[in-house]
Amino acid sequence: MKRNKSFYASILLLAMVLIMGFATFCLASEGGGMPIEAPAGHTPAFGNLYVIGWTAVNFFILLSLLYKFAYGPIYKMLDERTASIEGSLKHAEEVRVEVDELKKESQANLAESRKEAQEIVARATKAAEDAKNEILAKAQGDAVNMKAKATAEIESATAMAKAELKDNAVALAIMAAEKVLKRAITEADHKNMVSEFVNEAGDLLC
């Protein structure tokens, strides 16, 4: 263990003090007129009724003083503090309940608005789908119509072309026959013969 200067200094001081103390004791024992006299106390007499009475009176005065200035105000303050803390806690609880309610409400609102939004989207989607289907159906109908019309036109054109072709063929055949035969046949016979031929030829052609 390291011992520093202050340790030795304090030992020295203590030694000096003890020596001085001893010197005082020696002086005192010789009755050198010291300020402190030798203790000459004795146990106090027991049953000093005046002291007992005074002490009891004094103690109850102390008790009443403490009741007046300490216990009364401090216990009252404690009760007030308890009441105020309880009030604060109660208030906090109320606020908490309120906040909970508000939260619940806002959550309900949120859910509702979300549902509404979903409904709107669903409705819009359905409307769009409907429109799409309608347009599609209409387009299909138009296409079918157009196709039918075109087919009809084609058919009529074909028929017309056929008829024209037939007529032309008949005229040609007549011309050819006239040229070949160079003889007069009754117009009616002629026509019958040719048209028979043409019909056959036409069937083959078409």
Partner 1 sequence: MIFGMWDGALFHIGPIPVDHLVVTEWVIIALIGIIAFMATREMQSVPKGLQNAFEAIIIFTYDFFTQLMDEEHVAKKWAPLLTAFFLFILISNYSGLIPGAAHIAGFQPPTSNWNVTMTLAVITFFSVHVAGFSEHGGHYLHHFVSPSPLMLPLNLVEEVAHPLSLTVRLFGNIFGEEMVIAFLLFMAPFVVPAAIMGLSLLLGAIQAVVFTILSASYIAAAAGKGH
Reported as half-sphere exposure (CB side, CA atoms, 13 A), residue 71 has a value of 7
Of the residues 1, 36, 188, 206, which one makes contact with partner 1 according to CB under 8 A: 36
Question: How far is the CA of 202 from the CAs of 114, 152, 164, 189, 196, in angstroms?
Answer: 75, 22, 12, 19, 10
Residues 78-117 that bind partner 1 (CB under 8 A): 78, 80-81, 84
Of the residues 9, 59, 107, 151, which one makes contact with partner 1 according to CB under 8 A: 59
Interaction of residue 32 with partner 1, rule CB under 8 A:
no
CA dist 123 and 99 (Å) reads 35
CA dist 173 and 175 (Å) reads 5
Q: Which stretch binds partner 1 (CB under 8 A): 67-75, 122-130, 141-149, 153-161?
A: 67-75
Q: DSSP 3-state assignment of 24?
A: helix
Q: How many residues bind partner 1 (CB under 8 A)?
A: 47
Q: Which stretch binds partner 1 (CB under 8 A): 64-72, 103-111, 120-128, 185-193?
A: 64-72
CA dist 174 and 167 (Å) reads 10
Residues 38-57 that bind partner 1 (CB under 8 A): 38-48, 50-52, 54-56
Q: Is residue 142 within 8 Å of residue 171, measured between CB atoms?
A: no
Interaction of residue 71 with partner 1, rule CB under 8 A:
yes
Interaction of residue 1 with partner 1, rule CB under 8 A:
no
Interaction of residue 58 with partner 1, rule CB under 8 A:
yes
Burial category of 198 from C-beta neighbours within 10 Å (exposed 0-12, middle 13-18, buried 19 and up): buried
Phi and psi for 164 in degrees, rounded to 5? -60, -45
Closest approach, Cβ 60 to partner 1, in A, equals: 9
Q: Which stretch binds partner 1 (CB under 8 A): 1-9, 35-43, 123-131, 151-159?
A: 35-43
- Return the ∠ at Cα 38 (arms to 27 and 31), rounded to 5°: 35
Binding site for partner 1 (CB under 8 A): 14, 17-18, 20-22, 24-25, 28, 36-48, 50-52, 54-56, 58-59, 61-63, 65-67, 69-71, 73-74, 76-78, 80-81, 84
